[in-house]
């Protein structure tokens, strides 16, 4: 079972990193793609790539080293082996999805108003806010986490009450509340785009409506998949904290629940670029061109190196 999960994590993390790095580079390298929505998607891709990257020590490398103790062990727990940055990035990802829902809401419901629309200044503020809140939440865990040599694992060195508060904040404040906000905003957006008021006659307005519907479908699909993939980790932490011995004494179940919930978290981060590519032809073309250029450049470098080695005079 453990080997199976490792293989699945390798596939999911590799897909995560390749896909999300592609999203970031495509948006950074093409000014035409740098709309407020796409910049939020790039921020989402950055957070999603961190989710996969910082899970590597905890899921793939945990059997390949002996964890040191003392202050070095505490530092490694904070920075790498406990995947603290994964949870930080997951919070930033959830907040970014909420901001994306806000952008869609004002773009569709109030298309002619600039009050709620995201301009360059608001965009920088929202991106900064997503990371500030995420770092604020994670800083508490960074402070109290340490390595327990008796248990040979990283632990939270605080009381059970504070642990329950932390899990409540993670499951309710940083997961359920943003999800409810997203659902509420998208219900209004869907009603406006597909309801009776959505009928337009002008060709230009009809074309704009089609574009809005296409983009909204993509974003709603991303949010829906996020809800499905996020639920297992929320249930895992909620049950392990509040279900008492009923959950924690089932030793065979806890590691499986942990692995499944974290695998779903990585898969959620890996699937977003696939959705972008499937729904947006321009993004798909830029992505293909990006990797073709990279692969072509790599082949040219290898060919040039081989040619130089072939023409280099012998030292004998």
What is the domain range of residue 66?
1-287
The confidence score (pLDDT) of residue 186 equals 93
The confidence score (pLDDT) of residue 312 equals 42
The confidence score (pLDDT) of residue 247 equals 57
pLDDT digit string (tens) for 25-77?
Answer: 999 988 888 888 899 999 999 999 999 999 998 888 877 778 888 888 888 88
Largest CA distance in the chain: 85
The confidence score (pLDDT) of residue 202 equals 57
The confidence score (pLDDT) of residue 12 equals 92
- In order along the chain (316 residues), what is the average pLDDT of each group of 10 residues? 86 92 90 88 94 89 82 87 89 93 88 79 93 91 86 84 88 90 92 71 67 85 89 84 63 76 89 83 84 66 43 38
| Residue 307, domain member (yes or no) | no
- Whether the CB-CB separation of 207 and 137 falls below 8 Å is answered with no
Q: What is the DSSP string of the chain?
A: -HHHHHHHHHHHHHHHHHHHHHHHHHHHH-GGG--HHHHHHHHHHHHHHHHHHTTHHHHTSTTSSPPP-HHHHHHHIIIIIT-HHHHHHHHHHHHHHHHHHHHHHHHHHSTT--SSS--HHHHHHHHHHHHHHHHHHHHHHHHHEEEETTTTEEEE-S-HHHHHHHHHIIIIIIIIHHHHHHHHHHHHHHHHHHSGGG---SHHHHHHHHHHHHHHHHHHHHHHHHHHHHHHHHHHHHHHHHSTHHHHT-TTHHHHHHHHHHHHHHHHHHHHHHHHHHH-HHHHHHHHHHHHHHHHHHHHHHHHHHHHHHHSPP--
The confidence score (pLDDT) of residue 309 equals 41
The confidence score (pLDDT) of residue 125 equals 94
| Residue 135, domain member (yes or no) | yes
| Residue 140, domain member (yes or no) | yes
Total domains, the chain = 1
CATH code: domain of residue 204: 1.20.1070.10
The confidence score (pLDDT) of residue 301 equals 44
pTM: 0.86
The confidence score (pLDDT) of residue 316 equals 33
């Amino acid at each position: 079972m453990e080997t199976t999960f490792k293989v699945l994590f390798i596939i999911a993390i590799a897909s995560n990193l390749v896909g999300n790095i592609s999203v970031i580079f495509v948006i950074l390298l093409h000014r035409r793609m740098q709309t407020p929505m796409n910049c939020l998607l790039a921020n989402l891709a950055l957070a999603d790539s961190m989710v996969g990257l910082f899970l590597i020590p905890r899921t793939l490398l945990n059997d390949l080293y002996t964890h040191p103790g003392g202050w070095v062990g505490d530092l490694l727990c904070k920075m790498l082996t406990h995947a603290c940055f994964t949870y930080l990035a997951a919070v930033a990802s959830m907040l970014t999805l909420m901001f994306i829902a806000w952008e869609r809401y004002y773009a569709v419901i109030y298309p002619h108003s600039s009050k709620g629309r995201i301009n360059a200044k608001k965009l920088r503020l929202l991106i900064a806010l997503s990371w500030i809140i995420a770092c604020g939440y994670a800083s508490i865990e960074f402070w109290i986490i340490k390595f327990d040599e008796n248990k040979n694992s990283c632990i939270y060195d605080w009381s059970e009450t504070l642990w329950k508060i932390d899990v409540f904040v993670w499951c309710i404040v940083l997961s359920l509340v943003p999800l409810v906000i997203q659902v509420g905003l998208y219900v209004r957006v869907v009603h406006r785009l597909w309801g009776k008021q959505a009928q337009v006659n002008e060709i230009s307005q009809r074309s704009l409506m089609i574009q809005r519907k296409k983009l909204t479908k993509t974003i709603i699909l991303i949010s829906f998949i996020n809800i499905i993939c996020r639920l297992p980790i929320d249930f895992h932490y909620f049950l392990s904290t509040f279900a008492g011995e009923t959950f924690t004494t089932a030793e065979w179940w806890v590691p499986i629940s942990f692995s499944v919930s974290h695998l779903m978290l990585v898969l959620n981060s890996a699937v977003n670029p696939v959705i972008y590519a499937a729904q947006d032809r321009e993004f798909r073309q830029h992505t293909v061109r990006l990797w073709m250029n990279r692969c072509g450049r790599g082949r040219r470098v290898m060919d040039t190196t081989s040619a130089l080695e072939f023409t280099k005079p012998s030292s004998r």
